[in-house]
Copies of this chain bind each other. A is one copy, B any other.
Amino acid sequence: MVPDQIAPGIKTSSGPADDETSRLSALEAADRLFYAKGIQGVGMDELRTASGISLKRLYRLFPSKDAIVEQVLLARHRKWTEGISSAVARETQPRERLLAVYDFLAAWFIQEDFRGCAFINSFGELGGTSARVAEIVRSHKEDFQKYLSTLTAEMGAPPALAPQLAILAEGAQTTAAISGNAEPARQARAAAEVLIGAALVGQ
């Protein structure tokens, strides 16, 4: 428990938003705007209006727009990881746990604001000019590959299966985004079932 006692000049929780709350509001608004319009398509002024946080405060909370971009991507990575893990955790059979990934995608694709994978989008926009963005995206995708590897290993499938399943997931995301259709999630799942079946033959 954090004591309610405060030092002079420090706002209580009933006063104006504290820094942590503002940070989260700013990142949430930035994430929504960046995802919808691209990173370069959103100015700091628009972020100020959308978040209700003054420019002065934004620049006290973050040193630059680049830093906001970085934090938004890192937060998205955590959210993605949690979403996938909890969808997988609902299943007990190794095969069903793996397929839960595609059901998670299906649920995501039908959301109204779905516009593909934010990491792929950011890489397309800034991967060629921002080493930091490229690195975050690469690391995010590497993480996903490793996660799928643990899931395939649980099943006793050969290691070659995981990258194939990852490629299906990536392809489903871009195809669904561009076509505006959620069907690729089901198509990828059906393909994954075939690949899993083939990988487990003779076991």
A interface with B by C-beta (< 8 Å)? 36-38, 40-41, 115-116, 119-129, 134, 137-138, 141-142, 160, 163-164, 166-172, 174-175, 177-180, 183-184, 187-188, 190-191, 194-195, 197-198
17 sample A-B contacts, Cβ–Cβ < 8 Å, listed by A number? A40-B40, A41-B129, A116-B123, A116-B127, A120-B174, A123-B178, A141-B179, A142-B179, A164-B187, A164-B188, A167-B187, A168-B171, A170-B171, A170-B175, A171-B172, A174-B174, A197-B198
Closest to A164 in B: B191
> Across the interface, which residues of B come within 8 angstroms of A41, CB to CB?
126, 128-129
> Across the interface, which residues of B come within 8 angstroms of A178, CB to CB?
119-120, 123, 127, 134, 137-138, 141
> Across the interface, which residues of B come within 8 angstroms of A119, CB to CB?
178
> Across the interface, which residues of B come within 8 angstroms of A137, CB to CB?
178
CB–CB B179/A175 < 8 A: no
Complex Cα gap A129–B43 (Å): 14
The complex is assembled from copies of this chain, and their number is 2
> Across the interface, which residues of B come within 8 angstroms of A160, CB to CB?
187, 190
Complex Cα gap A168–B195 (Å): 12
Closest to A139 in B: B178
The A interface is mostly helix, strand or loop, or mixed, namely helix
Looking at A37, A163, A190, the one whose CB has the most chain B CB atoms below 10 A away is: A163
User: Could you tell me the distance in whole angstroms from the C-beta of A202 to the nearest C-beta in chain B?
Assistant: 14
User: Could you tell me the distance in whole angstroms from the C-beta of A188 to the nearest C-beta in chain B?
Assistant: 5
Complex Cα gap A134–B121 (Å): 13
> Across the interface, which residues of B come within 8 angstroms of A125, CB to CB?
38, 40, 121, 124-125
Partner of A37, one of B115, B128, B171: B128
